[in-house]
Chains A and B, each alone.
Chain A
Amino acid sequence: MNLHRWAALAALAVLFMTASTSLPPLRSGDAPIRTRVEPYYIEHVVEQTATLNIVSAILADYRSFDTFGETTVVFAAGLAVYLLLGRREDEAQ
């Protein structure tokens, strides 16, 4: 890699490290996810989704787009292994 790319990479690393200092600390009780997001799920999950398992409801409903991406990643992994190692029907055995 040339110098410009290294400089851009270093700038990005500095940016991420600086930004990470303003994140709420781990397990902090007054982070927005604790005070707003989690109580909302716990209060509304049954009336909104009729699903008792809150993990399933968040995974497959509130965060469904994320899970769709995860499923696509699983399929992409299978496709990648097939493209790298897979043999055609007539080559097997």
Chain B
Amino acid sequence: MIQVYDSVIVRTVAKLLVPFIQVFGLYVVFHGAKSPGGGFQGGAILGASLILLRLTVGPSAAGNYLPGRSALRLGAGGVLVYAVIGLIPMLNGAAFLDYGSIPLPMLGAARHAVGIELVEVGVALAVSCIMVSIFDDLAPALRPAKMSQGKLT
């Protein structure tokens, strides 16, 4: 049985660390075009930060990120982001995921860079949220409850 870690030190350190982990995760996602990184790696770091909160702070209001089933829904949203970015070039008659035909006022190569970046965001969203969703299914007691009318249900 997975339980919340009952130690003030662990909880405080985890709460302090989580913002830094998330900033680093965002850096890995958005700097993936210039340095090692990308959507999968950054998404894994972001998902790990939320799982750390669930393990230490627990399902209280303080750790109330992605409550209920919103992790799975946001993960589906990540796949949707990817699919929509792929469909936009088809509006101009180009092939699926042909970023060169994204209607933006810039050169073709820069359009490709934008397409890569947006797709990485979709991947990061999907990977991080699905990690949290799988963790929630394995440890449902640690999942933050859905807020309804201003109080926990």
Cβ-defined contact, A64 with B72, below 8 A: no
Q: Chain A residues with Cβ under 8 A from B134's Cβ? A: 77-78, 81
- With CB as the reference atom, state the residue of chain B lying closest to A57: B116
- With CB as the reference atom, state the residue of chain A lying closest to B32: A56
Q: On chain B, which size bracket covers the interface?
A: 35 or more
Is B133 part of the contact surface with A, judged by Cβ < 8 Å?
yes
Partner of A53, one of B33, B123, B143: B33
Q: Chain B residues with Cβ under 8 A from A75's Cβ? A: 75-76, 78-79, 126, 130
Q: Chain B residues with Cβ under 8 A from A47's Cβ? A: 109
Cβ-defined contact, A61 with B96, below 8 A: no
Question: A72–B82 Cα gap in the complex (Å)?
Answer: 10
Q: Mark B107-134, 1 if CB is under 8 A from A, else 0.
A: 1111011011001101100110110011
Q: A-side interface residues toward B, CB under 8 Å?
A: 46-53, 55-57, 59-61, 64-65, 67-68, 70-72, 74-75, 77-79, 81-82, 84-87, 89, 92-93
